[in-house]
Amino acid sequence: MKALARRDRLVLGLTGGIGSGKSEALRTFRRLGAGTLCLDMLAHQALRRGGEAYRPVLRAFPGVRGRDGELDRHALGRAVFADPRLRRRLERLTHPAILARMRRWLRAHRRGLLVVDAPLLFEAGLQREFDLTAVVTAGLRTRLARLSRRDGLSGAELRRRAAAQMPLAAKARRADVVIVNGGSRAELRRRIREYHRALELMYGG
């Protein structure tokens, strides 16, 4: 972990891969008292009817409007994970709104440990938004087993979605901290508690 001067606030960018355990890590940080934010949640808000990205995305992907007028996120996901060009188009349409919301949240929280769950942290070049970065990793077989139990997607679909992301090994090389999650949830929570204690020493928590 790189050395940082003590400060009133420390912002950690948290990332990982599909099924690696990033969401559980974020929940553990929240239970330990950290302020937390999930960029996927901000994306959902921006894509709702009336959100900043709703109309631009609907114009670009007219076939994903549901009967209730909202965007069908499952249909949108199937389309963009099958075509890298469509995925990049969606990212161009949504990222400005997501980043604007994130930065407003960070301006409103000036003290303590803040953890931002950023799935595309490295892909989108967001490293400069954070004081530190951490990646949660797990082997592909372990990740696919977790996802098949949780999401009910086919093995082929899960592999396609995993392949669409930056490899975890590449994220690990870029991150300040690597949190290995190859075991149980209890083991992951223990590692997060240890890391949280180390971070508290940095910002005087």
Q: Tell me: the pLDDT tens digits for 2-36?
A: 656 556 899 999 999 888 999 999 999 999 999 99
Q: Is the dihedral of CA 76, 82, 86, 90 positive or negative?
A: positive
Look up the domain containing 64 and give its range.
9-203
pLDDT digits (tens, 9 = 90+) for 141-155: 888 888 777 766 666
pLDDT at position 69 = 92
**For position 117, which CATH number holds?**
3.40.50.300
**Alpha-carbon gap, residue 98 to 148, rounded angstroms:** 28
Domains held by the chain: number? 1
Residue 4 lies in a domain: no
pLDDT at position 5 = 59
Residues of the chain with pLDDT > 70: what percent? 92
Q: Are 133 and 52 in contact (CB under 8 A)?
A: no
pLDDT at position 146 = 81
pLDDT at position 81 = 82
**Alpha-carbon gap, residue 176 to 64, rounded angstroms:** 38
Half-sphere exposure of 190 (CA within 13 A, CB side): 8
**Alpha-carbon gap, residue 118 to 33, rounded angstroms:** 19
Residue 2 lies in a domain: no
pLDDT at position 147 = 76
**Alpha-carbon gap, residue 197 to 136, rounded angstroms:** 17
Residue 3 lies in a domain: no
- β-pair type (177-180, 112-117): unpaired
pLDDT at position 205 = 60
* Per-residue CA distances from 39 to 26, 67, 185 (Å): 12, 26, 22
Residue 82 lies in a domain: yes
CB contact set of 96 (below 8 Å; sequence gap of 6+): 52
DSSP letter string over 47-61? HSTTSTTHHHHHHH-
pTM for the complete prediction? 0.89
* Per-residue CA distances from 109 to 2, 43, 113, 166 (Å): 23, 20, 9, 30
Residue 183 lies in a domain: yes
- How long is the chain? 205
Give 39's pLDDT tier (boundaries 50, 70, 90): very high
